[in-house]
Amino acid sequence: MPELPEVETVVRHLKPDLIGQKIISFQSNWSKVLDNINIDQFLETISDQKILDVTRRAKFIVLNLEKGFIPIHLRMTGRLFPNDRIPDEKHISAVFQLSDIFLIFKDTRKFGRIYWYDEWSDFDIKHGIEPLGELFTQEWLLMSILSKKRQMKALLLDQHFIAGLGNIYVDEALWSARIHPLSISNEVSSVKIKKLHRSIRAILESAIVYNGTTFINFSFKDGIPGSYRNQLQIFDREGLLCKKCNTTIKKIRAAGRGTYYCTRCQKR
């Protein structure tokens, strides 16, 4: 599932094509693609509205209209891309006809969803702090982690706590900060939490530069995959040697996810 860097990559490549375009129509042959509004209401609401901006919130691509917002979640296999025509392909979940182009939502497994919100606050309140935003300070993270009693992996995956982090980048950040994924949050040292703050920011920023990570499905403009996979330090490296200490990397289950860690660098 795309995490913050992958979604940010898509947003940055969509902006030049979509800003200023007017929505002419919308069509879908998959009724469940619209999550919180029916297709007739959606079409009536968005028709003739101009796209003022394309932004990201958490793991959502957001079309900012003159009145209201369209958040789109790609989930496992979703792709959102502009095209000069409607492709004659399988798995097209939805199509926005715009002034000059079509915006195509292709989704093989049909888990992706499109939402509608009249007010930004109704959508924004569902998500935690942005880890690349100004409010995500070392002091905030220190206070927030130490005030909770949860496993670190589960806490960092919680979208109500920090928005946009997922399995890949949580494992990378925990390894960088030398924190065991099953550590209890209020028992982690202040030194490690401060390191975690720096690691989260640095890893996300670097991943964006590389256009995110592709294992199977993720791609952005023209089907190009992200290339951060070659930079991964711990994720998906079970049985290989830790790049810090040469200890064999282990894989366990944490927060219901396959989790990679170093038994020497990340002691409980």
Active site residues per annotation: 2-3, 59, 257
Which residues lie closer than 8 Å to 265 by C-beta, 6 or more apart? 175, 178, 242, 244, 245, 247
Which residues lie closer than 8 Å to 43 by C-beta, 6 or more apart? 25, 26
Please say whether the dihedral angle defined by the alpha carbons of residues 38, 39, 43 and 44, taken in this order, is positive or negative.
negative
User: Which whole-number Å values give the CA distances from 244 to 5, 167, 201, 261, 263, in the listed order?
Assistant: 24, 21, 20, 12, 12
Token pair listed for 210: 């590389």
Token pair listed for 109: 């497994």
- Please report where in the chains the tokens 């706590």 appear, as a residue: 161
Look at phi and psi of residue 239 and say left if phi exceeds 0, alpha if psi is from -120 to 50, else beta. Answer: left
Give the CA diameter of the chain: 60
